[in-house]
Amino acid sequence: MMTRHGIAVLAFLGFCFPAHATKVFVVDYQSQADYKVYIEKHASKADCQIFLVKYASQAKRGSGKWFQVPYKSQADVTVYLVKHQSQADLKIHFVDYQSQSKPCFM
């Protein structure tokens, strides 16, 4: 079952990164995730600025472009969306344009 934050991530289905993106799956439980992620409202507070791409072929790990996949088995990375900044391994901000994306380690 998708959390409210997971639905919010889906709403940003314009996410892209430079040349390729990370294939991401949002999990329901913290223990299932590779990374705990907090969505920042302001780019200046984020570790990464993420652009959501429309096609999986545009996704590559570490590029700043993410593609959200429907199944966990298709993902390069699994993330759990946390409610508080202090709980996160990574703070991200979604950007409107691919040129605004800023790569991160994942």
Within-domain flag for 105: no
Within-domain flag for 65: yes
Pairing state between β 65-68 and 48-52: parallel
Structure tokens at 94: 């979604």
Structural domain count of the chain: 1
Domain range for 44? 4-100
Within-domain flag for 82: yes
The 10s digit of each residue's pLDDT in 34-92 is: 999 999 999 999 999 999 999 988 877 777 899 999 999 999 899 999 999 999 999 99
* CA-closest candidate to residue 53, choices 18, 78, 79: 18
The 10s digit of each residue's pLDDT in 14-33 is: 333 333 458 999 999 999 99
| φ, ψ (nearest 5 deg) of residue 99 | -70, -15
Within-domain flag for 106: no
What is the value of pTM for the model shown?
0.75
Question: Cα(58)–Cα(10) distance, rounded to whole angstroms?
Answer: 17
